């Protein structure tokens, strides 16, 4: 079997890690990226167990020059990228706008929005020249709705939604599929990052109901990218059953 190639940002954890495994299981070799090299090394071992090759690229998506220079080192046979999953991102803080930290705002806009653009800018030409490829952008329910204290994170994910829809239009002449995946609550390191390492606070986000798992999202991405070439699942909103909207969550707490 000739394996396809998927490039996944934020593959060191959560949704990105699980997506790497799921795509390996359906016949992809993986270009896995993130800042934590030891995590990429651990992922590579898991991918090899699935029979997949792995190219590890360590960079911060905020660093435009590093993104460009690192992606430029990809050997020719790895440049035939079939699927790009723009997943790297996080929330930083959960504060009323008037109390928000400028550093947190910068991080969310630089990583979730500009990082996605920098990576896409480097990969799209390889898809355009082959007139094929699929781009999966990980948005959020926060990109469809706004919730109290979510202000800038929600703005960053609304931007991802807009960019996704714009990409689908602009890449339409080249037959490139663009898919937006917008999860609700998924138990990952997301809340640990949002609350700056406060694990007790992070755990409370997922208590009293069954959140989505990163595997749930990964399976859906694997399903979406493996549809026949004439089919695009353009916009996927995925919630835990206990969640009806960004703010309506049925919790059974003591």
Would you please indicate which residues are annotated as catalytic (active-site) residues? 153
Binding to ligand 8X3 (CB under 6 A) within 147-166 occurs at: 150
Beta carbons within 8 Å of 38's beta carbon, 6+ residues apart: none
Q: Does 141 bind ligand 8X3 (CB under 6 A)?
A: yes
Smallest distance, ligand NDP to C-beta of residue 170, A: 22
Enumerate the H helices of the chain as residue ranges: 14-25, 37-49, 64-72, 102-108, 116-130, 151-170, 190-194, 199-204, 214-225
Q: Of 56 and 194, which has the nearer Cβ to ligand 8X3?
A: 194
The residue nearest ligand 8X3 at its CB is: 140
The 83-86 sheet, strands edge to edge? 54-58, 28-34, 4-8, 83-86, 134-138, 177-183, 235-238
Q: Which stretch binds ligand 8X3 (CB under 6 A): 36-44, 52-60, 119-127, 138-146?
A: 138-146
- The count of chain residues that interact with ligand NDP, using the rule CB under 6 A, is 29
- Token reading at 57: 């690229």
5 forms beta bridges with 29
Residue 240 touching ligand NDP (CB under 6 A)? no
Residues 182-201 interacting with ligand 8X3 (rule: CB under 6 A): 185
Contact partners, residue 227, CB within 8 Å, separation at least 6: 233
180 counts as binding ligand NDP under rule CB under 6 A: no
Choose between 142 and 228: whose C-beta lies nearer to ligand NDP.
142
Look up residue 67 and give its two tokens: 């993104």
| Contacting residue, 142, 167, 218, 225, with ligand 8X3 by CB under 6 A | 142
- Applying CB under 6 A, the span of 12-20, 49-57, 98-106, 140-148 interacting with ligand 8X3 comes to 140-148
* CA–CA distance, 11 with 196 (Å, rounded to integer): 20
């Amino acid at each position: 079997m000739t394996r396809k190639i998927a490039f996944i940002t934020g593959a060191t954890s959560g949704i990105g890690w699980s997506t790497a495994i799921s795509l390996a299981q359906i016949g992809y070799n993986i270009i896995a990226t993130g800042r934590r090299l030891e995590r990429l090394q651990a992922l590579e071992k898991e991918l090899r167990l699935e029979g997949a090759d792995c190219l590890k690229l360590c960079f911060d998506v905020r660093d435009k020059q590093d993104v460009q220079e690192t992606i430029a080192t990809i050997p020719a046979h790895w440049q035939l990228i079939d699927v790009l999953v723009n997943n790297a991102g996080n929330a930083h803080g959960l504060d009323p706008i008037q109390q928000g930290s400028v550093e947190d705002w910068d991080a969310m806009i630089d990583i979730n929005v500009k990082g996605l653009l920098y990576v896409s800018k480097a990969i799209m030409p390889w898809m355009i020249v082959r007139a094929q490829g699929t781009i999966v952008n990980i948005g959020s329910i926060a990109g469809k709705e706004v919730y109290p204290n979510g202000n800038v994170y929600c703005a960053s994910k609304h931007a991802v939604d807009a960019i996704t829809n714009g990409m689908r239009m602009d890449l339409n002449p080249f037959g490139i599929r663009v898919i937006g995946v917008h999860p609700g609550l998924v138990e990952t390191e997301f809340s640990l990052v949002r609350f700056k390492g406060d694990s007790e606070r992070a755990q409370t986000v997922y208590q009293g109901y069954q959140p989505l798992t990163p595997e749930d999202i990964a399976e859906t991405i694997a399903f979406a990218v493996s549809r026949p070439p004439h089919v695009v699942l353009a916009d996927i909103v995925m919630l835990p059953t206990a969640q009806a909207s960004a703010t309506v969550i049925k919790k059974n707490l003591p």
